[in-house]
Structure 1
Amino acid sequence: MRADRLIALVLFLQSRGKVTAAEVATEFDLSIPTARRDLEALSTAGVPVYGQPGRGGGWQLVGGARTNLTGLSEHESKSLFWMLGTAGLSDPGTRTATRKLVRALPSTLQDEAEILATRIHYDHTTWGECPRAGDRSEILDALRSALVKRQALRIRYTKRDRTFGRTVAQPLGLVAKAGIWYLVARPHDDNSPRTYRVDRISQAESIGTSREQSSDRDASRTQDETVDDDHFDLEAYWTAHVDEVEARRSSVIAEIRCPNWAVPILSAHFGRYLSVIDEGTEHTIAEVGANLVVALAEQLAGWGRTVEVLSPPELQSELARIGSELSDLYDH
């Protein structure tokens, strides 16, 4: 029996109390005879485990024996899983280790660790731009606390048009993208999750558990309309949200021709908004994108003759207008 599987089996027994050989086989992808041999091997190895045969029987640790293999304090555990977020469970290379770590924690910390491991997500790629976010540590702490305690929030936030909005929402997760935090929450008057930039939230007040706050709302829905927030997939939601935002940011696509040496520079500037179509011996044909024709023209104008816009015609016209303005201004 491998040592790592023995440790994982001890933690599995610790978290379940009593298990059958069939449950062990399912959990560790083993045959039932192998699972039974592993359980028997624990006793041989000195682990206080015993089996009870017959209907309703199973295997369990003697006297409910417990072990905290991590040695982590409560504060250290919270800090670790807050920092790790969904990365621990989403990466196949760390998923097993993260599950072992959660099971190794004292029972009082396991629930919070599970929430942080599935409801805190870090996205280190930038948007098309990287704005500076203000320090919202107090608001962020309030959001994190409500998320862990499953509490609904009454929030006040600044909309894109600079007006203020208020809503009561159930927090579903927090996402950090390039140093900017976002709250993903489901407003109580809407079935669809929404995204709020944390630096635009001016007030966040917990108002009780989300289950209590949503009971009246759910009672008025049919079974098909009721949302199971316990199984909300934060990563899937965020991926779809990023794709939607990026699509809006690159709604104008231009085909350009440039020297090969310019491609790395343009790529660093446009990021995911540049894609190479055809790379020749000296020149490359590529596509670049932006949200507006004017914005794209302003980004390309500084390249002069180095970057030739092949399409669309409206972008060529806008570049000609910019060139004419500059010529009138500086042609004395």
Structure 2
Amino acid sequence: MSLRTQRLLEMLLLLREHGRLSSPDLAARLGVTTNTVLRDVRFLVRSGVPLATERGRYGGITLAPEYRTSVAGMADDETGALLALATGERAGDGIGDVLGSAVRKAMAALPAPHRDAMELIDRRIIIDPVRWRREDEPAGGLDALKEAVFTDRRLQLHYWRGEGGLHADVIDPYGLVDKAGVWYLVADAEGGPRLFAADRIVGARVLDEPARRRAGVELDALWRELRDRIDEVAAEVRIRRDALGRFVHRHLADLAAPPPEGGFPANDDDPDWVRVRLRFRSVAVARRLLDFGTDVQVLSPPELREDLASTAAEVARMYAAA
């Protein structure tokens, strides 16, 4: 949990316990300035948290009574994960490990009449807080997608497919996934599971036909399968020391972590080489490593080594034939 998320959570817990506190009082309890408290309050209000501020001698900051319901048994990291998700605050590593249990505990605390609706939402909507590498783009219209998902009907889509232009398909939707603010539709299309980015959909029409979902297949399993195909490729490479500066300049955004203060570790068996960990959007994107020729050698993963070897062999054959 980030320090800011921890502070926001502590502020809400203080307000839930005391009902009303002045901004100087909150600042003293949290160990920050009054201006920081007021900035945090504005941030929480914009995120939908019902806080109110009143001026005057008996004024202060209050949390709406309906927001003070306690969920028994929820640990601090689970509460923090929900807060980070609700506010859009960047979460630390491992949020996925606790977010699921936090949501289940929140659902268990709901009155019985609301649980069926929440269970349906849980089966048709997934929240994944880790963003794939892409520019911020406005999400496309979701109304038709939501209607098809919750009424179990087929969809006719018109969408942009990379550089392949505009395509049309009739698909069978399983549900929607919010991946760090970017919406995706998970559906069967063209004989297999597909992922459609909402911001690439230019038209959607809900059909009268029922969705033809495969028996026993749920959104969560399909999402894991599709996500595993797309998630970033983690690679370990070794680089000639005299090419390191040029490499880091070109691939700074691909580093798995900021450059260490003491420099990258030397290769175990040759001090003229250093080891570096990288992340790429896909194996295809990682082919840019070939630009460095014999100055860079991929150590792992095996599939990237095989792909680069195959690509280099094809280039060699092409020039040999010429």
The TM-score bracket by the shorter chain reads 0.3 to 0.5
Q: When the two structures are superposed, what TM-score results if normalisation uses the length of structure 1?
A: 0.45
Q: When the two structures are superposed, what TM-score results if normalisation uses the length of structure 2?
A: 0.46
